[in-house]
Amino acid sequence: MRKIFVSVITRSTQRGIEWVSDTEAKVWVHAAPEKGKANKEVCEVIAEELSLRPYQVRISAGEMSSKKIIEIIK
């Protein structure tokens, strides 16, 4: 299982990811941090970047924070 430390920028005009290191990234999402919408989009962006299915990416810590720990399940 791989862990990624993520800083999330919500309500962005762009959607994407910038890798700071092998285990750290900044993720931009369109969604607002309401009702888990931004969390869902963060998982989608990371899954797309790593060529994974969305169910293989989950938030293990920081659901209510802009700093998150993401687990990659293979």
CATH code of the domain covering residue 24: 3.30.1200.10
Q: For residues 49 and 32, give the distance between their C-alpha atoms in angstroms, rounded to a whole number.
A: 21
Helix ranges, 5-72 (H): 37-49
| pTM, 2 dp | 0.91
CA angle 11, 43, 61 (to 5 degrees): 95
8-61 pLDDT, tens digit per residue, is 999 999 999 999 999 999 999 999 999 999 999 999 999 999 999 989 999 999
Give the total number of structural domains in the chain: 1
Enclosing domain of residue 49: 2-72
